[in-house]
Amino acid sequence: MRSAEQHGRGITPFSYADDFTPALLDPERAAPAAVRGPNGKAAKKRYDVYRNNVTVSLIDALAAVFPATQRITGTDFFRAMARFHVRATPPTSPLLFEYGRDFPDFIENYEYARQMPWLMDVARIERAWLDAYHAADAEPLPPESLAAVPAPRLADAVLTPHPSTRILRSRFPAVSIFAANRGDGPVGPIDAVEPEDALVTRPHLEVIIRRLPPGGAIFLMHLIEGGSLGMAAAAALEESPQFDLTANIAGMVGAGAFTAIGGDENDGH
């Protein structure tokens, strides 16, 4: 706690960062002893400028990644929650669009958010939205390409996922809650009560969030991991007898979730 005083000031030419940083995210700590104002002026409020810049800019960064989450909780609640997270888990990358990966888990364990158990899943969708936004560009599979695969070989086909493709599963109607709160429009009553799974894609410049039909998440997760269409469909049917293969294929191709088909040539099966 008193390292700056124990060391004396300027103990080495390079200890300035060790002295300057501990109080940046800890309001209980005093300003570092090595800094001052000009002409004998104090440096408390001066140092507070840096404290404020760090904390507020990082809270703002989380607010920019999680706008629907903030809209649900209200700004004051969100900023208080984000402040705890920023202080406990500041970013480790200079790329702020990578920040907030641990925030949904933080929300899950945040005492004051317990009455909103779906909030963490909305946050997970928002984090995936930003990953899709910055993902590598790739041309999605044209709609007719799967139709060109001969029917006997279709079951063995494997697909290459688009770099933006993400699947998120929720025990709550997280997609409906996300969709209602992400924009600026009025939020009406949300009737959904069922669990919802999300497919996140960005085939071109727009990020698309779709609610998946029954079995769709299992189906796509198998395909993303490199499983064949036949295996993926079997797994989806096992989880959900209502699984509709044709509709799911149309949906995933329409969303641009994949970029290439393979596995049906050369190696026989």
Q: Is 6 among the residues that bind another protein (CB under 8 A)?
A: no
Cβ closer to another protein: 13 or 268? 13
Give residue for tokens 């995210």: 25
Q: Is 88 among the residues that bind another protein (CB under 8 A)?
A: no
Q: Is 39 among the residues that bind another protein (CB under 8 A)?
A: yes
Number of Cβ atoms within 10 Å of the Cβ of 266: 6
Q: Show the tokens assigned to 66.
A: 């999680």
Cβ closer to another protein: 43 or 149? 43
Please check whether residue 127 is in contact with residue 89, taking contact to mean a CB–CB distance below 8 angstroms.
no
Which residues sit opposite 171 in a β-bridge?
Answer: none
Number of Cβ atoms within 10 Å of the Cβ of 66: 28
Task: Provide the 8-state DSSP code for 106.
Answer: H
Q: Is 160 among the residues that bind another protein (CB under 8 A)?
A: no
172-202: string of b/e by CB count within 10 Å (b at 16+)? Answer: bbbbbbbbbbbeeeeeeeeeeeeebbbbbbb
For another protein, which residue of 2, 109, 205, 266 counts as binding (CB under 8 A)? Answer: 205
Question: How many residues are given for the chain?
Answer: 269
For another protein, which residue of 98, 105, 108, 244 counts as binding (CB under 8 A)? Answer: 98
CA distances from 222 to 152, 219, 227, 235 (A): 20, 5, 5, 8
Interacting stretch for another protein, rule CB under 8 A, among 11-19, 144-152, 220-228, 231-239?
A: 11-19
Q: Is 41 among the residues that bind another protein (CB under 8 A)?
A: yes
For another protein, which residue of 102, 137, 238, 265 counts as binding (CB under 8 A)? Answer: 137
Q: Is 57 among the residues that bind another protein (CB under 8 A)?
A: yes
Number of residues forming the site for another protein (CB under 8 A): 55
Q: How far is the CB of 129 from another protein (least distance, A)?
A: 11
Q: Show the tokens assigned to 151.
A: 């029917």
Q: Is 77 among the residues that bind another protein (CB under 8 A)?
A: no
Q: How far is the CB of 249 from another protein (least distance, A)?
A: 26
Q: How far is the CB of 226 from another protein (least distance, A)?
A: 15
For another protein, which residue of 14, 76, 150, 151 counts as binding (CB under 8 A)? Answer: 14
Please check whether residue 134 is in contact with residue 99, taking contact to mean a CB–CB distance below 8 angstroms.
no
d(CA 137, CA 230): 28
Residues contributing to the site for another protein (CB under 8 A): 9-10, 13-18, 20-21, 24, 34-39, 41-47, 49-50, 53-54, 57-58, 61, 90-98, 101, 128, 131-138, 163-164, 166, 202, 205
